[in-house]
Each structure stands twice: as structure tokens, then as C-alpha cells.
Amino acid sequence: MKRYPATILVTQDKGLLTHWQKAFGTTKQTVVSNMEDFLRLRPVSASIAWIDLSRANHPAWTAPVWQDTLKSEHLRIVAASSNPNDDEAMQALDAGCAAYCHAYSDAATLKQVREVVDTGHVWIGKSLMQRLLHGVNRMVPPPSVPDSSWREALTQREIEVAVLAANGASNQAIAAQCGISERTVKAHLSAVFTKLNITDRLQLALRVHGIH
């Protein structure tokens, strides 16, 4: 599995930059304050770029300047907003971003976003997850008798973790509710993904809620 050990922080906000640097600790970090410079950047090593969307000169995700950047095999982009909303999240994720989150999320959440993106998955917050499920439910109503066959290959603990994750709970929240460590939560989710032959939490949510 490909990893993205380097971090690129794109912001002019010194307070936000300090917050991110503290959250990511000793990861290899490159700071870019100018969006034009970032768009010209060609990372040599696999990197995760955190984009501060509050920048006034942030191009629309549909703009041609993003094409090469969003398609780069060496780069995954996290769109970070100080005033997040689901419509903006949909635009970012639809364009090819690997995650959309609150720029000032606590350190634990930022680290979790990074871990999810680092393993090749897409981070979808609880609010957007529920909106997507609601939209899919309207188009394809779940069966009157929910399909519970997905449970058959899982242990009781894996089922518990899967249900919580499918409803948008973070690893931290799952750990607290189940009385286990976040590392154990990650191990359970990895096992669930493998057993159900899925790759991310949205697919898990669709499976658990009986939407195919």
C-alpha cells in the first residue's frame, strides 16, 4: 500500500499554520503561502497537501489549473475550511480531493484525517455522510427487511465498530464508546474492509444500511 509521508501546508494564516504544525508533529513538512507556487509544485516524494480554503485567490475546483495537481499520483489533497459546509465539501470531493474537513479541527481529528488519506481512503465527515445516505435513500429506498448478511463474516466487536463507523462516528468516538484504543478501532475497521471487500467508510455505510 502506497504511503504519503510528506506534508505540504498551504496557508498564509500564521495561527492556522501553527495549529497544523503542532497537530502533525514530526512529519516532513513544506510550507507554501502562495497558491500559484503550490499549483506549480511537483512533489518528488508522495505528499498530502492541506489547502486552506479561506485564501481569497483559491481557484474553483473545476478550473483547469487543478487538473494536473488533482491527478498527480504523488499528491493527495485535503481541503480545509474555517467555515465548512456540505455543498463545498461535495465540490471538493467530486473534483478529486481526498478529504474535506474543518481547518481548525482538534489535533486528534486532523491526525485521523491524515491516517485515512494516507491509507488511500477518502475522509467524509459525519454531516456529509448522513446527507449522502439520505440522498441515496431517497433514490434507492432500502429494503423493508434490512440485509444483514454483511454481519456473517464479522466478529461481534467488528459488527459494533462497523455500525458506529457507518453512522459517521470518528475512531476516537468509537474507541470511547467501545472501551478500546483507537489503534484497536483501526485494526477492526481494516479487518471489516477486507472481509466485506470494500475500501472506505461510505461503502461501509451503504452496506450496513442495506443500500447497494
The answer on 109 and 10 residing in a single domain is: yes
The answer on 132 and 72 residing in a single domain is: no
CA atoms within 13 A on the CB side of 211: 17
The answer on 89 and 17 residing in a single domain is: yes
Q: Are 196 and 150 in contact (CB under 8 A)?
A: yes
**Rounded Cα distance, 52 and 67, in Å:** 18
**pLDDT value, residue 201:** 81
Q: Are 117 and 76 in contact (CB under 8 A)?
A: yes
Would you say residue 183 lies in a domain? yes
**pLDDT value, residue 50:** 95
The answer on 112 and 166 residing in a single domain is: no
Name the phi and psi angles at 74, rounded to 5.
-100, 0
Which domain, by its residues, includes 155?
128-208
**Residue 134 pLDDT level (bands cut at 50, 70, 90):** low
Give the CATH number, domain containing residue 152.
3.40.50.2300
Would you say residue 201 lies in a domain? yes
Buried residues in 164-186 as b, exposed as e (16+ CB within 10 A): bbbbbbbbebbbeebebebebbb
The answer on 200 and 105 residing in a single domain is: no
**pLDDT value, residue 118:** 87
The answer on 116 and 15 residing in a single domain is: yes
Mean pLDDT of the region 181-187: 91
**Residue 39 pLDDT level (bands cut at 50, 70, 90):** confident
Name the phi and psi angles at 80, rounded to 5.
-120, 125
Last residue of a domain, one of 59, 89, 123: 123
Q: Are 5 and 26 in contact (CB under 8 A)?
A: no
The answer on 86 and 12 residing in a single domain is: yes
**pLDDT of 128 over the 80 cut:** no
The answer on 178 and 141 residing in a single domain is: yes
Would you say residue 1 lies in a domain? no
Which stretch, 71-75, 139-143, 176-180, has highest mean pLDDT? 176-180
Of 94-98, 119-123, 132-136, 154-158, minimum mean pLDDT range: 132-136
Would you say residue 187 lies in a domain? yes
Would you say residue 161 lies in a domain? yes
- 72-106 tens-digit pLDDT: 888 999 999 988 887 888 888 888 899 999 999 98
The answer on 132 and 117 residing in a single domain is: no
The answer on 133 and 178 residing in a single domain is: yes
